[in-house]
Chain A
Amino acid sequence: MATHSPETTHGHEGGTAHHVTSSRLLIMTGGALLVLTVLTVAASFIDLGALNDVVALVIAITKALLIIFIFMGLRWSTQIPRLLSLVGLFMLLLLIIATLSELLTRVWVPLPGH
Chain B
Amino acid sequence: MASVALPAPRKTTSRNYLNAATTVKSWLLTTDHKRIAILYLISISVMFVLGGAAAGLIRLQLLTPNNTLLTYDAYNKSFTMHGVIMVFFFLIPSIPAVLGNFILPMQLGAKDLAFPRLNLLSWYVYMVGAIFTLVALLWGGVDTGWTFYTPYSTQYSATAVIPVGLGVFIVGFSSILTGLNFIATIHTMRAPGLTWFRLPLFIWALYATSLVIMLGTPVISITVLMVAIDRILHVGIFDPALGGDPLLFQHLFWFYSHPAVYIMILPTMGVISEIFATFSRKPVFGYPFVAMSSLAIAILGFLVWAHHMFVAGISAQSALIFSFLTYLVAIPSAVKTFNWTATLYKGSISLDTPMIYALSFIGIFLIGGFTGLFLASLGTDIHLTMTYFIVAHFHYIMVGGAIFGFLAGLHYWWPKMTGKMYSEFWGRISSVVIFIGFNMTFFPQFIAGYWGMPRRYHTYAPEYQILNVLSTAGATILAVGYILPVIYLLASLRNGKPAGNNPWGATTLEWQTSSPPPTYNFLKTPIVTDAVYHFHLPAGDIAVDGHGDGQALGPGSAPATPALPAKTTDER
Which positions in A face B, CB cutoff 8 Å?
Answer: 1-8, 13-14, 80, 87-88, 91, 94-95, 98-99, 101-103, 105-109
Q: Is B392 positioned at the interface, with any CB of A under 8 Å from its CB? A: no
Cα A13 to Cα B183 in complex, Å, equals 12
Query: A17 to chain B: closest CB distance in Å?
Result: 12
- Check B188 against A5 for contact (C-beta < 8 Å): yes
| Interface window among B32-40, B191-199, B229-237 | B191-199
Cα A7 to Cα B195 in complex, Å, equals 8
Contacts of B195 in A (CB 8 A): 6
Q: Could you list some 30 contacts between A and B, CB below 8 A? A: A3-B192, A4-B188, A4-B191, A4-B192, A5-B189, A5-B194, A6-B190, A7-B187, A7-B190, A8-B188, A14-B188, A91-B302, A94-B303, A95-B219, A95-B252, A98-B251, A98-B303, A98-B306, A98-B318, A99-B251, A99-B252, A99-B255, A101-B318, A102-B247, A102-B306, A102-B318, A103-B245, A103-B247, A105-B317, A106-B313
Query: B255 to chain A: closest CB distance in Å?
Result: 6
Given A91-B302, A95-B219, CB of A102 within 8 Å of CB of B314? yes
- Check A109 against B316 for contact (C-beta < 8 Å): yes
Given A101-B318, A105-B318, CB of A80 within 8 Å of CB of B187? yes
Which positions in B face A, CB cutoff 8 Å?
Answer: 1, 3, 110, 187-195, 211, 215, 219, 245, 247-248, 251-252, 255, 302-303, 306, 313-318, 525, 527
Question: Known pairs A5-B190, A103-B315. 8 more at Cβ < 8 A?
Answer: A2-B192, A3-B192, A6-B194, A13-B188, A14-B188, A94-B302, A108-B316, A109-B315
Count A-B contacts at CB 8 Å. 74
Cα A25 to Cα B435 in complex, Å, equals 65
Query: A68 to chain B: closest CB distance in Å?
Result: 18
Contacts of B3 in A (CB 8 A): 2
Cα A3 to Cα B188 in complex, Å, equals 10
- Check A91 against B189 for contact (C-beta < 8 Å): no
- Check A1 against B1 for contact (C-beta < 8 Å): yes
- Check A107 against B192 for contact (C-beta < 8 Å): no
Cα A91 to Cα B302 in complex, Å, equals 8
CB nearest to B256 among chain A residues: A95
Cα A5 to Cα B316 in complex, Å, equals 49
Contacts of A3 in B (CB 8 A): 192
